[in-house]
Every structure is written in structure tokens, then in C-alpha cells.
Structure 1
Amino acid sequence: MTTHRSSLPGAEIPDDGALKQAAEWFACREGGWSAEESARCRQWVQADPSHETAWRQVESIWASLGGLSPAAAQALDEAGRKRRTAMVHLGSSVAAAALVLLGLRIKQEASRPVHAIRSMAGHTLQHSLPDGGQLWLNSGSEVIVGVTPGHVDLVLLHGELLLQTGRSAACAHTLRSRHGRLHTRSARLSVSMHAGRSQADVFSGTASWHAPFRRPLHIHAGQALEWNTLTPPAPRTADSMRGNWQTGELAVRDAALPAVIAELARYGIGRLDCDRQLADLKVTAVLPRFETEAALQLLAHALPIRIVRHGPWWMTVQSR
């Protein structure tokens, strides 16, 4: 979807009516809308820049809840349109809060088990899923896990996850970030969130990517996808560093040194920088991912670099 910009100061700031209407459209979509309703919503979003801004704000709130499972959507349909209509009479901030409460209420009605798991900085965490699959969280990550019969819903709040689905393809998996969602039944893949964007790397199996007003995209083994809420994504080659971090090894082949240093920095305490002059230096190695200083010493021994300490919590990789 194209972002429209106005020369008038504050022209894109949504008013109460725009936020309330966006919340109404979202409730309609999650309850199962018709093709006509979808087209009307698209027309409304494109009619004014403030409408798109309102849509994105509500979309962010909704994504943080993880959307609705099929059971929750059924509960919404059974509850009728009373809750949606009630939001029309609320102010902007209250309307946003009402949307959050609506999602939580529906999840409660559907008796959907939901819990959050998180990993500490410098540590990874492994979690077993009901279908026999495994979920790993990278350093400093948090995920909301929702489970219903035949479906696992994962909402990445921040950081990075690695998913290995169970052997049976009978269980569907939905992985969500604030920028979109992925669906798969059989895959090994990672999803990570960065400033303003999300990234998915598929190492085996397939997954499909979905976002409002966008055509679904299929991601196959060896492919990756990077996206945000404004620009269309395009498949590219999967990043091997995203597929093996749970083992404690950092295996790289012809990787740029700054990228390797940035990966090691995730697991150390303090600040770790890399001189921009080393951007063209390539690395092929197997490093201890969770032992930052040991990995840096191995790199310094093999490459024309040195490790400079500026204090107990700050190091810089520079040219020797």
C-alpha cells in the first residue's frame, strides 16, 4: 500500500472518528468479512492519509495481541456485532483500549490457553510445543504462545525465534509480528524483529506470508523474506546465521565481518563495535556464539584485526 504524505502539518494524524472506524474494520475482518467488506475497507483506507495512519495504529495493537485463533473468531461471530458497535461511541484513546480489551475478552471466551515465554539477555531458551515441535528464543526475546486443538499461534513481541514443527503436518502454525504473519504446517524457520521491520528465513519446508491488502507469498526452503507495513517484500536467500544459533555455534561462510561482530554482540554484556573500514573483510569460521571474548580472540588470531578495550563494558574491533 502506498503511503500518502500531506504538506499540511498534522494532516496525517488520525482523529477520533478515523481510529474508531479502523477499529471497526479490524473487528469485522477478524470476525470473517466478505469480499465486498474487504473492498470497502480498502477504499476507506486509501481515501485519506489519516485513515491509513489509523489503520496502522490499530494494526499494531492487534498484532501485539496475536490476532484471533479460529476458535476466537467463532466466539466473535456468536457474540454478534454489539461489541463492535459499542466502540463507535468511544474516544480515540478509549477506542484503542477497547480494541485490546475486545481481543482479550474474545480469547477468554474461547478458553484459549495463552502464556508468554521470554529469554534473558545473553541466553537462549528452548520450549516444547504440543505437536512435538520445538521453539527456541534467541537472546533477549519474548513470545506469546497460544494453543488450540490443531493450531499453535506464536506472537513475537521482540527479538528472534526459531521454530521446528512436529513430524505430523496435522497441526497448523501461525507466527505473527507487528508487520504481518506466517502460516506453516511443516517447516524449520526463524522469525526476527528489527526496528520497523521483520524477517523470516526458511531452512526446510515451506511457509506462506500474509498481510492486509497484500497477496500471500510462499517462502520455500533456502529463501528469506524481509518486510514492513509499508513496502512490499521480495524473497531472497536465507541467512545461514539465523538457522543454527540454538546449538551454541556460529558457523559462517564468506560472511562480512561487521555482520559477524553484530551477531556476537547479541550475547555479550556491554557494547561491541566494529570499524567501518573492515566492511569488506570476509569470515569463514565456526565460533563459540555464547562466549564473545573467546570468539573475538579467535578472529583476532586469524584476521588482520585487533580488539580495543575502551572500558570494562565497551570493545571495538579495529584494523591491525
Structure 2
Amino acid sequence: MSAATPPSPLLSRKVARQAVEWYLLEQSGQATPDDLAASAAWRARDPEHARAWSKVQQVGQTASLLPPDLAVPVLRRPQRRVAVQVLLALMAAPAAWLLVRHEMLADYRSGVGERREVSLPDGGTLVLNTDSAVDVAYGADERLLTLRRGEVLIQTRPDHAGSRPFIVATGHGRIRALGTRFSVRVDDDSSRVTVFEHAVEITPRAPSATVRMLMAGQQNRFDASHAGLPAPALPQADAWARGMLAAQDMRLDAFAFELSRYRPGLLRVEPQVAGLRLTGAFQLDDTDAVLENLARILPVDVLYRTAYWVTLAARKK
């Protein structure tokens, strides 16, 4: 009897998202000949790219699973953002579709590059960062925000209807506000909390996990089983709420990763310049202008293969 074929390794989320971006661009009817050539070149660069492309094509053909309004063309926002999330979920696992449905139906959502401010029922405020989704449920026992995706900045207010605790829930645990201003960000493997005023209490999902207290000026990253020790908050960690991306001695590859959250398409950094460092504050409303500024302050060239594929490369002498 022959041995069973081992399952293929999971695609990285980064490569899967790149495949989805190229797929949506090709299906939109708006791709130029240069776009199509760049897409083909991306697929040829790495066997993993080719595998991701094959997977997204298979998923894309399962049209019956997609809502009609997600059919191509889907380059417009917010439809395109939703289509990306749907395709990524279906590429990962059918069960992930349920998660994306929750995100699509969330009470408040923001698109890529969008910031949105919401007034809460108790007079507090909620600011959604780029590509975020959150549910708000004020009940008899607690005031609950469930962060489905992305990042939020919260300014709490006293509960005039009683003494209901203010809770933010993520897939990794719960954060209880203790009269405070704070932000919460959800990544694939963990959640990050930054406190700007007063304090919060972090409780990971695991019953045996240690509960952590976080004070103003501190941040913490936690997963479902563990919350680390508090660390100093990053300078201007809430700058995004003012439309700024703040960098303090930040590596270029880390900066590019953050900037890519605010623009569609692919933003790559060549290994030769990934370790360059920069400090400054950059306007998020025009990410192309940010890239131009990088070329002025660092020895890099900004190479546009297409509008959706940008590479930061070592400056040619």
C-alpha cells in the first residue's frame, strides 16, 4: 500500500494576499499590458507564488460561495477590500469563511487607507484605523466592543447607566478599561494593546493565563495563552489617528510593512536596503508622496513595476 501524500504546507498570508491582489487586478478588466506582464513575472519568480496563484484561481471559480456584489470588477472600495478578505479566507480554509462573514457584517468597518470615528452610546469615542471591523454591544452587564480585524483607538467615558465594565474582546482575550484612552490592534497571531491614559487589565483566553495590568505609557502584546511583561509604548503610537505614520529609528522593511496597510497592492523592500533606518512623521493620506519622501531621505529608488507593485531598491549610482 502506498503512503498517503502529505498535505501541502500552508501558504503564508503575505504570499496569499499578493496572489489575491494580482487575481483581482486581472479580473477587473482594468489591468494594462504592463500589469499583466508584471503579474506573470510575479508568478514565475517563485514556486510558492505559482502555487498561490493556482489556489486563488480555484477559489475564484467557486463563484457560488461569493455574494453577487463581490463579482468583478471589484477594484472599487469597499467592495475590493471585502473581496480580498473573502478570497483569503477561502484559500485558508472553509471555516475561515465564517470569520470573514462576521467581519463583513460588523457594526462598523473601514476600508484600506480609511480612518473612521464613531461616537459610542455612553459618550466615548472609537476611531477605526485602516481595514478594520468592530462590533459594539452595550448590554445590561457590560459594554462590549469586539475587534474583528485591524486596529482601534478608544476614549472611554463613565457609565452613566450603572457600573458596567468596558471590555474590548479579540480572538486572543479581553481587555478591561479602567477609565482610559487606549488602542488595540489585532494581528494574525496576537493582539497588541497600548495605553495612553490611566490603565487597562488584559486577560488572555486561556483560563490558566496570568492577568496583566497595563499603565499609561506602556504596551503589551498577548496571545490566547500568554500576556508578556509590559514594555514602553512606541513614540507617537496613536499618530495614525491623526493621519500620520510615525517612525523612530525604524527599519525600512518594518516601515514598509506598516505603510502597506494603508495602500492597495504590493510594496516590497529589497534585502540590500531592508536594514536602513529612518525617523520622522509621514502623512498617510498620500502614500505615493511618502514613498517619494523615502527616496529623498534614504539611498533608495522607488520602482513602480505597476501602480500596484512597488519596490524599494538600492539607489543606482
Question: Could you say which TM-score interval applies, normalised by the shorter chain?
Answer: 0.5 to 0.7
Q: Partner residue of 1:122?
A: 113
- In 1, the alpha carbon distance for the partners of 2:118 and 2:247 equals 26
Out of 177, 190, 194, the residue aligned to residue 170 of structure 2 is 177
Q: Partner residue of 1:267?
A: 262
Partner SS, residue 263 of structure 1: helix
* Identity between Structure 1 and Structure 2 (%): 31
- In 2, the alpha carbon distance for the partners of 1:300 and 1:244 equals 22
1:2-41: CA deviation from partner (whole Å, max 9, x where unpaired): xxxxxxx9xxxxxxxxxxxxxxxxxxxxxxxxxxxxxxxx
Task: Decide whether the 8 Å contact of 1:118 with 1:140 is kept in 2.
Answer: yes
CA-CA distance at 1:277 after TM superposition: 2.9
- In 2, the alpha carbon distance for the partners of 1:242 and 1:157 equals 20
Task: Decide whether the 8 Å contact of 1:268 with 1:291 is kept in 2.
Answer: no
- In 2, the alpha carbon distance for the partners of 1:300 and 1:173 equals 44
Rg (Cα) greater in structure: 1
Task: Decide whether the 8 Å contact of 2:181 with 2:196 is kept in 1.
Answer: yes
Task: Decide whether the 8 Å contact of 1:268 with 1:290 is kept in 2.
Answer: no
Out of 286, 289, 298, the residue aligned to residue 293 of structure 2 is 298
Task: Decide whether the 8 Å contact of 1:305 with 1:318 is kept in 2.
Answer: yes
Change beyond 3 A, Cα 1:234–1:151: same
Task: Decide whether the 8 Å contact of 2:132 with 2:150 is kept in 1.
Answer: yes
Superposition map of 1:278-317 within 5 A? 278-317=273-312
- In 2, the alpha carbon distance for the partners of 1:146 and 1:206 equals 22
Partner SS, residue 299 of structure 1: helix
1:243-282: CA deviation from partner (whole Å, max 9, x where unpaired): 1211112232222222221121111121112223333322
- In 2, the alpha carbon distance for the partners of 1:233 and 1:148 equals 30
**For the aligned residues, what is the CA RMSD?**
2.5
Partner SS, residue 296 of structure 1: helix
- In 2, the alpha carbon distance for the partners of 1:174 and 1:298 equals 40
Q: Partner residue of 1:246?
A: 241
Superposition map of 1:1-320 within 5 A? 116-148=107-139, 151-166=142-157, 172-211=165-204, 212-240=207-235, 242-320=237-315
Match of 2:114, as an amino acid? H
- In 1, the alpha carbon distance for the partners of 2:128 and 2:277 equals 28
1:158-208: CA deviation from partner (whole Å, max 9, x where unpaired): 111111112679663101101111101322211111112111111221000
Match of 1:144, as an amino acid? D
Match of 2:169, as an amino acid? R
Partner SS, residue 290 of structure 1: coil
1:90-122: CA deviation from partner (whole Å, max 9, x where unpaired): xxxxxxxxxxxxxxxxxxxxxxxx971111122
- In 2, the alpha carbon distance for the partners of 1:240 and 1:279 equals 21
- In 2, the alpha carbon distance for the partners of 1:148 and 1:221 equals 28
Partner SS, residue 107 of structure 2: strand
Match of 2:211, as an amino acid? P
- In 2, the alpha carbon distance for the partners of 1:287 and 1:134 equals 24
- In 2, the alpha carbon distance for the partners of 1:179 and 1:308 equals 38
Partner SS, residue 294 of structure 2: helix
- In 1, the alpha carbon distance for the partners of 2:314 and 2:225 equals 38
Q: Which runs of 5+ in 2 are unaligned?
A: 1-5, 7-104
- In 1, the alpha carbon distance for the partners of 2:271 and 2:196 equals 30
Partner SS, residue 269 of structure 1: coil
TM-score normalised by the chain length of structure 1: 0.60
